[in-house]
């Protein structure tokens, strides 16, 4: 017996006959003749060298081998049919599901979505804000905007924003009781941290930034700790300390005067982490995914001109 699968048509014919226990009914379901179905069953039995059906005078019954094989065929073809249905629904649906971290969604994506709605009014966007990696198939996600080091296996992955991290704080801290004008002044202020900055190896953190600034006597873990970067930035806006964050996330807060770069923009630090556009290669054939990809590329291009 050969190791690879028998012909798909023969398996499909067996699944239909075994489910309906009728050659004629199976032939009608498969839109072929009863003789063709019988031939497919015979070829499968020859291939497997085992009898699958017991042919009686006016009925059919599964043999022990047929009973063993049928549940696998039934489940397999059921999954294939569901997969095709889901694919057709996704191709025909005008809903685009985008997964992004809560902070990136709130600080970068949402403020810009007005132009997307205007450019593509027929696309209904659903933003799934979560920190965890998604399963594109089971979670029904079309595109993920992910922060990390790249290298997502078996997926299309394009760098969107090379990461730059820089300290930010409320303008009120610059000339307070303990002025904040140079990196050494950080020893008098709370260093605000996000959970992801301590939970991922090589993630941009205060320890990394302080070492690059030549400050080895300031404890990078002594400040306040928040479960999300959104809360960390809000704490910085409220004047509770200094946050280390991506420049891409605070552009609007800087322009609005809610946050400032206390040491100027020369103190940014390039790191190995970036923001990526990630999706299965097959999703790139969907018009709505291509539309979103082109839109986000244009937004980044326009932002680089300012």
> How far is Cα 116 from Cα 191, in angstroms, rounded to an integer?
36
Q: How far is CA 22 from the centre of its chain?
A: 45
Q: What is the pLDDT of residue 4?
A: 75
Note the pLDDT tens digit of each residue in 110-147: 999 999 999 999 999 999 998 777 888 778 899 999 88
Is the pLDDT at 173 greater than 70? The verdict is: yes
Terminal Cα-to-Cα distance of the chain (whole angstroms): 68
Residue % of the chain over a pLDDT of 90: 52
Is the pLDDT at 35 greater than 60? The verdict is: yes
Q: What is the pLDDT of residue 1?
A: 46
Using CA atoms in the order 65, 70, 73, 77, what is the torsion angle rounded to 10 degrees? 160
Q: What is the pLDDT of residue 154?
A: 87
Answer whether 168's CB lies under 8 Å from 243's CB: yes
> How far is Cα 228 from Cα 101, in angstroms, rounded to an integer?
10
Q: Which residues are within 8 A (CB) of 120 and not within 5 positions of it... i.e. 6 or more apart?
A: 288, 291, 292, 295
């Amino acid at each position: 017996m050969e190791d690879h699968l028998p012909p798909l048509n023969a398996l499909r014919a067996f699944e239909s006959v075994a489910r309906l226990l009728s050659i004629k009914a199976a032939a009608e379901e498969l839109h072929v003749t009863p003789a063709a179905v019988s031939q497919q069953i015979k070829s499968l039995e020859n291939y497997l060298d085992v009898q699958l059906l017991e042919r009686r005078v006016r009925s059919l019954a599964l043999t022990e081998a047929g009973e063993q094989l049928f549940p696998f065929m039934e489940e397999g073809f059921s999954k294939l049919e569901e997969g095709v249905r889901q694919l057709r629904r996704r191709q025909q649906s005008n809903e685009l599901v985008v997964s992004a971290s809560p902070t990136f969604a709130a600080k970068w994506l949402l403020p810009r979505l007005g132009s997307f709605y205007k450019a593509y009014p027929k696309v209904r966007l659903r933003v799934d804000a979560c920190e965890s990696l998604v399963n594109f198939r089971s979670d029904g996600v079309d595109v993920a905007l992910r922060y990390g080091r790249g290298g997502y296996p078996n997926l299309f992955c394009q760098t969107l924003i090379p990461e730059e991290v820089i300290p930010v704080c409320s303008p009120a801290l610059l000339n307070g009781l303990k002025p904040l004008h140079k990196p050494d002044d950080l020893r008098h202020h709370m260093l605000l941290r996000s959970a992801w900055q301590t939970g991922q190896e090589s993630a941009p953190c205060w320890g990394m930034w302080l070492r690059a600034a030549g400050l080895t006597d300031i404890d990078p873990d002594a400040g306040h700790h928040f479960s999300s970067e959104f809360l960390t930035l809000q704490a910085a806006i409220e004047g509770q300390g200094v946050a280390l964050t991506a420049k891409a996330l605070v552009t609007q807060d800087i322009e609005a005067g809610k946050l400032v770069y206390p040491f100027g923009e020369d103190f940014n630090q390039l790191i190995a982490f970036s923001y990526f556009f990630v999706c299965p290669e097959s999703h790139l054939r969907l018009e709505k995914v291509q539309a979103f990809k082109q839109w986000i590329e244009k937004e980044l291009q326009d932002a680089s001109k300012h």
